[in-house]
Amino acid sequence: MPAVRYPAVAGAFYPADRARLAALLDQLMPAPATEMAAMGVLVPHAGYVYSGACAGAVWNAVAVPERVLLIGPNHTGRGAALAAAEESHWATPLGQLAVDRDLLEALAARLDLLRFDSRAHSAEHCLEVQLPFIQRRRPDVRIAPLVLGVTAAPTLRAIGRALAEVIESCPEPRPLIAVSTDMTHYESAEVAREKDRAALDCLEALDGEALARVVRQRGISMCGAAGAVVALEALRIVGARSGKTLGYTHSGEVTGDDSEVVAYAGMVFC
């Protein structure tokens, strides 16, 4: 088993220098944190200059338990279709985080599809960019990273049900489910906002089936839609009642160009 997964995008998506990163995180997550008791969150994963404020608002709003299960898309296409972290620790400029192997093994026992595969994670940024936020809030956190490349609705529902079983078997406080996704890609800000509103309505209603349908029918380029469908299935089963959108923004608000943006949303599920 590889011992440590080292950062792939430090110095690109966020500062590689420890002091600079810590200072930036303190700007993005100003004290005091509000410590909302949430079962799940949805957070963006672009460079911090674009989506850091949106992600920081979510991580600063929730109580971060000692276990966080991270779900994101496999942008690189490498490795298994449903891949758990193989390493015992993941590193960031702030230090190392322990991987919750017990949580991942419990999920693997319920899902034949799941593989421990470092190839799927080695160059993937979507979960890595969440880690400094989590570390700053909860240095002793244990993480359970998952990336997926599957999209078939029955498979996603099965993954969600298995995840719910694992969450329900855990003592309180139960692991937090964190979905990493950006919203519409490379459309005008106006079109992105209109399309994403339809997706956010489904997310707020915890309706994964509707989300999958809307994303497909409207052609919404939400890269982590599959992971969101998985999470919504699990969250509904474990007792979450609704989602709340804490923020929505897009890259044009930084670049000044609204003609072709990438959009970002931050949500909590309680």
Stated pTM of the model: 0.97
Rounded to the nearest 10°, the torsion over CA 236, 152, 111, 3 is -100
Q: How far apart are CA 245 and CA 197, in angstroms?
A: 10
CATH code of the domain in which 113 resides: 3.40.830.10
Q: CA nearest 264: which of 205, 181, 206, 194?
A: 181
- For residue 76, how many C-alpha atoms fall within 13 Å in the half-sphere facing its CB? 17
Sign, CA torsion 262/159/125/172: positive
Looking only at the bridges linking them, the beta strands covering 261-269 and 82-84 are unpaired
Q: Answer whether 46's CB lies under 8 Å from 262's CB.
A: yes
Domain count for the chain:
1
- pLDDT tens-digit profile, the chain (270 residues): 569 999 999 999 999 999 999 999 999 999 877 899 999 999 999 999 999 999 999 999 999 999 999 999 999 999 999 999 999 999 999 999 999 999 999 999 999 999 999 999 999 999 999 999 999 999 999 999 999 998 899 999 999 999 999 999 999 999 999 999 999 999 999 999 999 999 999 999 999 999 999 999 999 999 999 999 999 999 999 999 999 999 999 999 999 999 999 999 999 999
Domain span at residue 42? 4-269
* Phi, psi values for residue 99, rounded to 5°: -85, 135
